[in-house]
Amino acid sequence: MTLVTSGRVTTTDRRWLERAVALAWQARERGDHPFGALLVIPGDTVIEALNSVVTKADPTGHAETNLVRLAGRTDLATRSAGVLYTSTEPCAMCAGAIYWSGIGRVVFALSEEGLAGMVEDEEGVPPLRLPSREVFARGGRAIVVDGPVGLVSATAVHEGFWS
Q: Which of 40, 4, 20 is nearest to 141 (CA)?
A: 4
Angstrom distance (rounded) from CA 13 to CA 134: 22
Residues marked as catalytic: 64
> Please, are residues 96 and 135 in contact by the beta-carbon 8 Å criterion?
yes
Q: Which of 142, 88, 125, 134 has the alpha carbon at shortest distance from 110?
A: 88
How many CB atoms within 10 Å of residue 150? 13
Closest CA to 133 of 5, 31, 13, 29: 5
Phi and psi, residue 114, nearest 5°: -65, -40
Strand stretches in 25-154, DSSP E:
36-41, 45-50, 83-88, 105-110, 144-146
